[in-house]
Structures are given as C-alpha cells and as structure tokens.
Chains A and B, each alone.
Chain A
Amino acid sequence: MIEIKGVRKAFGDREVLRGVELSVQPGRVTAIVGPNGAGKTTLIKCLLGLARPDSGVVTVGGEPLTADPTYRSRIGYMPQSPRFPENLTGNDLIAMLRDLRGPDAETDDSLVRAWSLAGELAKPLRILSGGNRQKVNAVTAFLFRPEVLILDEPTAGLDPAASALLKDAIIAQREAGRTFVVTSHVMSQLEEIADDVAFMLDGTIRFMGSLRCMKEQTRERNLERAVAAMMRREEAA
C-alpha cells in the first residue's frame, strides 16, 4: 500500500532520515516505534507531503508522490497535539473539510456517536478540553472513510474509555480492509492493535516484520520488552 525506498531528509546539518526502507501492507496496522528523535514524525510528514524528501521515493497505492495533492483524498491524518482555528466550532471544521472534499465525499460519523460528541462540536474549539480536542482530531481523520489512516500518538490525552473506543474503531476499520500507520510511546496500546512493527533508530528502519516475529526474534513476551531488547542490542553493536 505504501512503499518508502531510500528516503533521506536533512534539516540543515541535521540528517533526520538516513535512507529509510519501509513497506506498509494493505489491510494491516503498522506501528512505527523508536526512541524520541528517531525520525518517526519526519517520516510521517514525508508520507503526507508536508516535508519533501531530499532523495528517495514514496509511493501510495503504486503512485509516486508529486506536488499534485489528490492522493491525499485517500489518506486520513491525525497529527500529534492538534491545534485548530480556535474561533471555529467543531461543526465548522467538519463543514469546512466536507466543503473542500466536495459533495460526493462519503462521511463516517460513528466516532461522533460513540463518544457522544455532538454537544462538544457546537462549541468553539478553543474552549474544548485536551481530550475532546483529540477526539475531534480523530473524527476528522476517520471522517471520509480513507483507505489509509496515519495516526501520530492517537490515544494521547484520551481517558481509558475514549481510548478503548478509538482502538475498537481502528480494529473495526482494519477488518474493513483499511490500512493504518500508527506511532505511540505507549507500547501496550500498540500491542493491542498492531499487526506489523517497524523499529526506527537514528533515521533508519532497523527491524520490519510482524509483531510475533519481533517477539520471537528477541525472545521477549511483549512489545515493550522486545523494543527495549532491540535498543540494547543496537547500543551494544
């Protein structure tokens, strides 16, 4: 579904991505894990065209990314720490996105119902709590039933009940054939939803494979310990 080949990206002297190779399979949840500063967010930005790689190729559904933005109608994105136009309401924001996508865009408001969010959507976004903003963030990512969903720390700021509902939604959409790329610092959260894991360190992918394969390779019983073991191994090398 998504192929990343030899992607390099530097900001000034700082080389953040040093030849990333990654293949995201359709209909699966791929977790990108790694320590802070490993390049996870930059990689996601390259996927979305927010940052342009210095070299290398990114293809989504076989199409290489160009300046033409139409491919992004197939992608839903949930950024880390969202800040919205503060004087608009959630409903304004949704109306705007719908307006931009055109009248034919099919929408999905199951998360609005699951979280009983309708009342909050009528308020200006600046007065919403952090958790409710994060819910609006998720609603906008899922809204147009995109083929690919890119979620950067999706459960940050959510209470356990809201977080569980979001994970249920991710699993349900995966069953419906959608592809997910997810980052999180909470390994136990990822363990519940991830099929594949990409372990990133210093701007390259050091491991790419199924969650089970990663646990077998490191002989650890859960994702958190498996990632820790990989980090120790890299430090020793």
Chain B
Amino acid sequence: MILNRTVLKIAKYEFRNVARSRWLIPYTAGLALATELLIRFSGTSSAALLGASNLILLVIPLVSLTVGTMYFYSSRPFIELMLAQPVPRRDLAIGLLIGSAAPLAGGFVIGAGTPLAFHGAFAGETARAALALIGSGALLATAFASLAFFISVRIEDRLRGLATAIGAWLALALLYDGAVLFVAAVFSDYPLEKPLLTAMLLNPVDLARVWMMLQLDVAALLGYTGAVLRKFFGSGIGTVIAVSALLAWTAVPVILGVRRFQRRDF
C-alpha cells in the first residue's frame, strides 16, 4: 500500500509547510492574472486556450523543476530529523513528495482554473479543451516535481542539482522538438512514424501538448509528432495514450528516486 497513514501524516505537515511559504500565493495569483489577461484579450475560444497552453508548457515545467529541486535540497535537515524518528524511509520519501507536488499542482489548478471557470470555459464546446488544459498542466506539475525529487536524491551538491534541473527543462521544453524536427528533415526519405511516436512518448512536454491539441480541431498546429499520433490512434485512444504516458512520467522518477532514497546516506 503506497498511501499508508504515515505517508499521509508526513504529506499533511509538508503541505502545511509549503502552503504557508511565501512563493505559493504569488505564484497562484500570477497564474490567475496571466490567464485572466489572456482571456480578456482573446476570449475563451479554442485559439485562446491554445495560447494559454503554450504558456503553460513552458512555465509549469520550469517552476516545478526549480522550486521542487530547491525545495528538496533545503528540506535535507528536516529529512535527517525525520529519519531519526521511527518512520520507514519509503514513507518519508513519498510523504515529502506528495506534500510538495500537491501545492505545485494545486496552485496551478486554482490559479489557471478560476478565471477559466469564471468565464465559462468549462461549459459548451470549449469544455474538453479547458479540461485538457487544466489536466495537462496539473500532470506536468507533478511529473516535473517528481523529476526534481529524483535529481535531488541522485545529486549531492545543491548547485549541480539546480543546474541539472534547468538543463533538463531546456532540453525537454525547448530543444527537444527542434532536435526531433531536425532528425525528421534529415531522414525525410525514410518511414519515421514509429521512431517519432517513440520520441514523443519520451517527452512529457510533448505529451501535454498533444493531449491538448487532440481536443481541438487544429490539425495544422499539432506538430509533427501530434499529427503522427492522431494518424495512428485517432483522437480518443491518442488521448488515453498521452495521459497514461504523462502518468508514467510521474511514476518512473518517483520509483527510481524512492529506491535511491532508501539506500543513500544522509
């Protein structure tokens, strides 16, 4: 059982600690303001949601990775205090992770979701796209928080850990698509559907983008990998695959990170 009582107790106090910290409320308010402005300027049309989604695909991974990484490094003395208690290491690791990923994801859902709800985006024809927007943002937040956890457990030095986190963000959010396009252009004479599909499943930012796009009828904006996914699976199964792969992006760093956490020295 992953969520036993000890895990939930640790997560509760961790959540309380993070919720009272000085960055969470400005972060939530900033997201609310940005979403509100986007809606004011372009309404709640599909195109506006797409604009919001592009912003989210850049900002959420960056914030989750950097805040998460700094956060795990600074909780090191607290981890030592907790490890001196009769608490299994696994429960401590999972509790800490839930307690810090939940405010990151929650801050986004409340910040971006409130203006959307206020302007009625969750009803009518934009409902699916708005839900995908909030869902993909929340899953991105947890996936990158768990990546931050993994980095902080693997790398002892705080500065190197933070540099790795920013490097991971640059690679996944900015450079990855360029590299995929480059490969596609160079090998354009070969059948590339399967390699490209694999490439997409390996990047959580691509997965979130495709999930969002599949809810909208904007084939031209799907990007190469998205177009391939739709061609292969249609939008229903494509969505299921994108969401499952995003969940795996949360689960795999957690599993590897917790395993390492159980063995390492503090």
| Contact of A88 with B by CB under 8 A | yes
A212 at the interface (CB under 8 A from B): no
Contact A82 B17 (CB under 8 A): no
Distance in angstroms between the alpha carbons of A140 and B82 in the assembled complex: 11
Query: Is the beta-carbon distance between B84 and A77 smaller than 8 angstroms?
Result: yes
Alpha-carbon gap, A63 to B97, bound state (A): 31
CB under 8 Å from chain B, chain A span 56-87 = 67, 69-73, 75, 77, 79, 81-87
**Which residue on chain A has the smallest CB distance to residue B24?**
A87
Main secondary structure of the interface of B (DSSP, over half): helix
Contact A69 B13 (CB under 8 A): no
A51 within 8 A of B: yes
Known: A50-B266, A51-B266, A85-B13. Is A79-B84 also a contact (CB below 8 A)? yes
- Are A48 and B78 interface neighbours, CB within 8 A? no
Tally chain B residues at the interface, Cβ within 8 Å. Answer: 27
Q: How far is the CB of B87 from chain A (nearest CB, A)?
A: 6
Number of interface residues of A (CB under 8 A): 32
Contact B84 A88 (CB under 8 A): no
Contact status A79-B77, CB under 8 Å: yes
**Is the pair A85, B14 in contact by a Cβ cutoff of 8 Å?**
yes
Query: Hey, what's the 0/1 contact readout for B68-94 against A, CB within 8 Å counting as 1?
Result: 000000010110110111111100000
Instruction: Give 1 or 0 for each of A72-107: 1 = CB within 8 Å of chain B CB.
Output: 110101010111111110001000110111000000
Cα–Cα, bound, A96→B265 (Å): 24
> B10, B16, B17, B21 — which one has the most chain A CB atoms within 10 A of its CB?
B17
CB 8 Å contact bits of B1-33 with A (1 = contact, 0 = none): 000001001100110111111000000000000
B53 to chain A, nearest CB (A): 32
Cβ < 8 Å to B, chain A residues 161-203? none
**Beta-carbon contact of A92 and B85 below 8 Å:** no
Say yes or no: B78 contacts A85, CB within 8 Å: yes
* Known contacts A85-B78, A100-B9, A100-B86, then 20 further A-B pairs from the complex at CB < 8 Å, ordered by chain A residue: A48-B83, A48-B84, A49-B83, A50-B80, A50-B83, A50-B265, A51-B265, A51-B266, A67-B88, A69-B87, A69-B88, A77-B81, A77-B84, A79-B80, A81-B77, A82-B77, A87-B17, A92-B13, A96-B9, A100-B85
List 19 A–B pairs whose Cβ atoms lie within 8 Å, in order of A's numbering.
A45-B265, A48-B83, A51-B265, A51-B266, A52-B265, A67-B88, A69-B85, A73-B86, A75-B84, A81-B77, A82-B77, A85-B13, A85-B14, A86-B21, A87-B21, A88-B16, A100-B9, A100-B10, A101-B85
